[in-house]
Structure 1
Amino acid sequence: MVLIVDDKEENLYSLRTLLEINLFNVDTANSGEEALKKVLKHTYALIILDVQMPGMDGFEVAEAISGYGKARDTPIIFLSAVNTDKRFITKGYMSGGFDYVTKPFDPDILLLKVKTFYRLYEQTRELNEMQQVLREEIESRKQAENELKERVAELHSVLHSIPQLAFTALTDGSVEIVNGHWLQYARDNNAFPQTEAGALSVSGHLLTAISRREQYTAELAIQHIATGEYRWHLLAITPVRHNNEIIKWVGTFTDIHQQKMINEMLERGVAERTLALQKMNTELETSNHDLQQFTSVACHDLQEPLRKIQIFSHMVRDKYLADQSEGAMYLDRVMNASTRMRLLINDLLSYSEISITRLFAPVDLNDVIADILTDLELVITEKQASIHIDDIPLVEAVPGQMRHVFQNIISNALKFSRKEVTPEIRIKAALVNDKDAAAEPDAAGSYCRISISDNGIGFNERYLSKIFTIFQRLHSKEEYEGTGIGLAIAKKVIDKHNGFITATSKEQEGSTFIIVLPVKQQAAEQVPV
């Protein structure tokens, strides 16, 4: 049975319908608390768990479930439409999730995941049951063999009463006594069963146990006399001691052929699933590449008609609307809208191009920032901004992409300054040994931590994840111009450089953006400078 946990009835209905159409038994819960109560009462093969719910969220529910012995191994698939950032996905896996699917999702892909995890859970459960039976059987044999040390006189009757093949052997490795099942696999009472060609013989296993002078177990295939089939058995050889001296050995063969076949089937299934996932990843990479190419072409193609709109709008306004203020006002709105659209297209093009593989090279970020300040000279002069820059160590990066990052952050610091307060921007850098915003400076560190601080309007830190999401804005475009892509570009660039970016802020006090980059890109292809 599959348990679906979501606080929205429409989501429960759609998922339940999808699974029931595909012949799954489905149970539902409207909250994390209700889900935990049901998990205590019922056994589920799979749990589909929404992340954002009132009360207990999906991560808390998953952690609670992982503490239940009965449900500890139940696969959990997280569903989320909001928490799509990598840190939430990571938290999902750390909370005990087997997979993390973001909304909107592809029903076919979700169904495929459900079928896979459901099948693996059932196979694992059957295997665990069989292994438990086997462990109990082995434990039973050990107990029987320990009792043989005290009841050697009863050994014959015990050997003939057990369902496995059983024998006793002398200390020289020769067969002494066998039970009634022995001749199903051996030619006579004095011969050992035949193993597969190239495999160690039963006699060889026995001599190994004798040399080690301790209990010995091994898995081997022995030939059935009547059918000629080789069946897998667990061979257990136990010493019988008297006055701390080994006087003989007792051996049993337990048929584990079915469990062995199930294990091999599971291994083949895992291998096939791995190949399928690899193929899916390859197809996804191809699809992403095609999408990037389409975005680039589309953005370039949109530039030309926009330029014509702006040129002809200027011509119409200047030539025909010089004395028509209302018409000129409407045309100005058209030109302003087309200007914003051009900026948006340029930002989208920049965002898509970040996914294209680039070669890393040593970059002097001091020169990059100096060029940016030259470009922003008019704005800096107009706002009388004060900018202080520490020396930044050399790092391996893509120069053009680094320019995107610092251009966006410095421009934002100037744009989001407070009225009647002189903007102050301070850029600091230090080498650190860990990819951590709070790591202690280390002159031999393998990471470079850069902080860009300002005294602007700041923001509420509860919106921290939102500011790095594409098209997300904390202010309307009427208050502050922009497309809402700049910081998304910065985050994507830093991710591509195997680093991370975060920020701290207080409203009306300013913000500090912290970037941590590897000094050297170990897994990257590099070019000389």
Structure 2
Amino acid sequence: MVLIVDDRPENILPLKKILELHKFSVDIADSGEEALKKILKTNYSVIILDVQMPGMDGFEVANAISGFSKSKDTSIIFLSAVNTEKKFITKGYTSGGIDYLTKPVDPDILVLKVKTLQRLYEQQQELRATQDSLRNEIEVRKRAQEELAGRVEELRLVLASLPQMAFTVDTDGRIEYANEYWFDYSIDPMAFPAVHHDDEDVCREWPTYFGRGIEFTREVRLKKLATGEYRYHLLRIIPIKQQDVTVRWVGTFTDIHPQKMTTELLEEQVSTRTKELLFKNTELETTNHELQQFTWVVSHDLKEPLRKIQLLNDLIKDRYLKENPEAISYLDRSIKSSARLSKLIDDLLAYSQLAKPAVFKPTNLNTLLTEILVDFEDTISKKGAVVSIDSLPIIDTVPGRIRQVFQNLISNALKFSKKDVAPVITISAELIGGKDVNSEPSADGQFCRIIVSDNGIGFDEKFLDRIFVIFQRLNNRTSYEGTGIGLAIAKKNIDKHNGVISAQSRLDEGTRFILVLPVQQVNEPVATY
């Protein structure tokens, strides 16, 4: 901003208009006293000051301005129509003026001078701001260097107290500091210890990590000077950064020789034990195969006498005891016991076969259930049962084993029905997101939840863990036939399918069996004998 100081308005107005036409901001004062007041409040780049004024003249005003620190960059141009002699011009310059013009003033010359002085004022302000910024930055850097020096000293004290080799590396890759443990492995504080010839690749790798400014961690064997023994150490060098710039590196060599020796001994023992286990596993597989063959033979040899017992009991009953009801009753009980024993042998044989490996393949569950229901046609017809099956997806299963699961669940639903109430069995399915009976439905889920529900006698859920255990029964044998193996077979089959089986039930309110199976299975290599 430019300040025009003159006691005569007719002198101020033309100058003000001329400067405003050249886009200068202009302020005016009609006396030296008023000018001083304004200068105390406002920064001016140029002051155009008339020499002849009542009260304070221009020279006095200029001398007063020179004492104001805030106006030290302000340029003063004196204007005079009377005092044109050399002594007055000289006094104007000695009073702090930059120029001395006599009236009448050439407007173009005045505008050029004001422009030049305005530009000089702006440059001085910029320079002053730059100087202040540099002073601040120097002060900040000085404090940062002092703080850094303190931290370096603190870091060295910490490294000196560590019970391991510790060192620092500068940004040029030179070792700055090493603690006392360093000299157990190196006589030179500026050189790394000697490494085992098999670990020399560490020396080649480190420059790459150094150049990229990232942590370097390796196991390395160092030669101890006192014994000549190579000991395992864990080398770790990390960058210390300030504002994402690496200022130095801190490294440690941690002696891991005892742990390494222990690990190698353990690995050797594990290897030996693994070989022993593989041998034992082979023996177990052979024994298991022989046991399966034995099971088949025993089951055949047990069932053959049972069939003869049942056949002979039936013949005795029909031919010789028609007139003896009491004997018939005893024989009927004997025949039923033989039948239960035969069923028990079949179930045990089925349970033992679950250990054999099998191959998964895509299975249409609707087709499989349709085939199963054919086997139950007589029972369904006698009990007037209603079986409803929703559309089920095609999933990977072992068909024979999943057939056993559904056969047991449908058989139980028919068997444990209420008296004088027709069984209602519903089978439904949906895709879900996880392997959990309560997982949320998902259109692209990787698991299938199948629910088999009935309206039978149900059971108390406090016995839920027992129903899948072999030979565990919740009902007496006289009321409901069975061997107590069916749900154990179902549980084991579902486990073999990498799935989950659970149940929800209340007494006299029916039961819901919930199966969760993967939609797709991974076939593992099948063992052969």
Q: TM-score range by the shorter chain?
A: 0.5 to 0.7
| CA distance in structure 1 between the aligned counterparts of 2:380 and 2:235, rounded to whole angstroms | 83
Partner residue of 1:487? 487
What residue is the counterpart of 1:376 in the other structure? 376
SS across alignment from 2:400 = helix
* In structure 2, distance between residues paired with 1:222 and 1:487: 63
Whether the 8 Å CA contact 2:359–2:523 is kept in 1: the answer is no
User: Counterparts of 1:259-274 in structure 2 under 5 Å?
Assistant: 259-273=259-273
Q: Kindly indicate whether residue 343 of structure 2 is the aligned counterpart of residue 343 of structure 1.
A: yes
Matched to 2:352, the amino acid is S
Moved more, 489-498 or 394-403: 394-403
The whole-number CA distance in structure 2 between the counterparts of 1:250 and 1:466 is: 62
Structure 2: gaps (5+ residues): 1-146
Given that residues 192 and 203 in structure 1 are in contact (C-alpha distance below 8 angstroms), is that contact kept between their aligned partners in structure 2?
Answer: no
Counterpart in the other structure of 1:425: 425
Give how far 1:372 is off: 2.6
Q: In structure 2, how many angstroms separate the alpha carbons of the residues matched to 1:407 and 1:215?
A: 62
**Residues in 1 aligned to 2:240 and 2:407: alpha-carbon distance in whole angstroms:** 81
Question: CA offsets per residue over residues 383-409 of structure 1, 9 Å max, x none?
Answer: 222222212222222322232222211
State the Cα deviation string for residues 290-315 of structure 1 (Å, max 9, x = none).
43333233212211111111122222
Residue 319 to residue 252, structure 1, CA distance change in 2 (3 Å): closer
Letter in 1 for 2:436: D
2:502 is paired with a residue of what secondary structure? strand
Q: Choose 266-275 or 449-458, whichever is displaced more.
A: 266-275
Partners of 1:467 and 1:161 in 2: CA distance: 65
The residue aligned with 2:195 is: 195
- Residue matched to 2:301: 301
* Equivalent residue runs for 1:6-17 within 5 Å: none
**Aligned in 2, Cα 1:214/1:493: closer, same or farther, shift over 3 Å?**
closer
Rate the CA distance shift 1:169–1:392 in 2: closer, same or farther, 3 A: closer
Aligned twin of 2:408: 408
**Contact residue 296 and residue 352 of structure 1 kept, 8 A:** no
Give the counterpart letter for 2:413 in structure 1. Answer: A
1:239 and 1:249 in contact (8 A); partners too = yes
Measured after TM superposition, the shift of residue 459 of structure 1 is 0.4
Structure 1 residues 268 and 318: CA distance shift in structure 2, 3 A = same
Maintained 8 Å contact 2:202/2:218: no
Deviations 1:356-400 (CA, angstroms, capped at 9, x unpaired): 222333322223222332222222222222222212222222322
Closer/same/farther in 2, CA of residues 357 and 219 from structure 1, 3 Å limit: closer
- 8 Å contact kept, 2:431–2:442: yes
The equivalent of 2:386 in structure 1 is 386
**Residue deviations 1:439-477, cap 9 Å, x none?**
344443333322121111110011112111111111111
Map of 1:37 onto structure 2: none
Look up the SS of the partner of 2:513 in the other structure: strand
Aligned partners of 1:360 and 1:525 also within 8 Å = no
Q: How does 1:143-182 map to 2 (within 5 A)?
A: none
> Residues 175 and 190 of structure 2 are in contact (CA less than 8 Å); yes or no, is this contact kept in structure 1?
yes
TM-score (norm 2): 0.59
1:166 deviates by: 8.4
**Which residue identity lines up with residue 425 of structure 2 in the other structure?**
I
Residues 171-220 of structure 1 show CA distances to partners (whole Å, capped at 9, x for unaligned) of 87778999998776557888754321142399879978976889987653
The root-mean-square deviation of aligned C-alpha atoms, in Å, is 4.6
- For 1:28-66, what per-residue CA distance to the aligned partner results, in whole angstroms no more than 9, with x for missing partners? xxxxxxxxxxxxxxxxxxxxxxxxxxxxxxxxxxxxxxx
**Structure 1 equivalent of residue 477 of structure 2:** 477
State how 1:39-438 maps to structure 2 within 5 Å. Answer: 185=185, 193-200=193-200, 219-225=219-225, 227-233=227-233, 255-273=255-273, 281-438=281-438
Which residue of structure 2 lines up, in the alignment, with residue 83 of structure 1?
none
2:458, 2:509 within 8 Å by CA — same for their partners in 1? yes
Task: Give the distance between the partners of 2:361 and 2:478, measured in 1 at CA.
Answer: 40
Secondary structure at the aligned position of 1:508 is classed as coil
**Residue type of the partner of 2:478?**
E
Q: Structure 1 unaligned runs (5+)?
A: 1-146
**SS of 1:467 mapped into structure 2:** coil
Does 475-484 or 426-435 show the bigger shift?
A: 426-435
Q: Supply the AA of the counterpart residue of 1:379.
A: T
SS in 2 for 1:316: helix
2: distance between equivalents of 1:484 and 1:220? 62
Q: Secondary structure at the match of 1:466?
A: coil
Q: CA deviation at 1:252?
A: 7.7
| Aligned-pair CA distance for 1:281 | 4.9
| Cα distance in 2 between the residues matched to 1:502 and 1:301 | 36
State the SS of the aligned residue for 1:509. Answer: coil
Match of 1:55 in 2: none
User: Would you say the 8 A contact 1:417–1:456 is kept in 2?
Assistant: yes
- The amino acid across from 1:311 in the alignment is L
The 3-state SS of whatever aligns with 2:341 is: helix
Matched, 1:513 2:508: no
Aligned partners of 1:473 and 1:484 also within 8 Å: yes
1:269 to partner: Cα distance: 4.5
Which secondary structure does the structure 2 equivalent of 1:362 belong to? strand
- Which letter maps to 1:416? F
Task: Please identify, of 178-187 and 419-428, the stretch whose mean Cα deviation from structure 2 is larger.
Answer: 178-187
Higher radius of gyration, 1 or 2:
2
Which residue is 2:498 aligned to?
498
Aligned-partner residue type, residue 411 of structure 2 = S
Secondary structure at the aligned position of 1:366 is classed as: helix
Q: In the alignment, is the contact (CA less than 8 A) between 1:452 and 1:514 conserved in 2? A: yes
Question: 1 CA distance for matches of 2:322 and 2:290?
Answer: 47
Aligned with 1:314: secondary structure? helix
Opposite residue 504 of structure 2, the aligned amino acid is: T
User: Contact 1:192–1:202 (CA<8 Å) still a contact in 2?
Assistant: no
User: Which range moved further: 307-316 or 173-182?
Assistant: 173-182
Deviates more, 1:177-186 or 1:338-347: 177-186
Q: Distance in 1 between matches of 2:328 and 2:288?
A: 44
Tell whether the 8 Å contact from 1:209 to 1:237 is kept in structure 2 after alignment.
no
Counterpart CA distance in 1 for 2:405 and 2:343 is: 17
What is the CA distance between 1:508 and its match in structure 2? 0.6
2-structure distance, mates of 1:423, 1:165: 80
Alpha-carbon separation, structure 1, partners of 2:482 and 2:393: 31
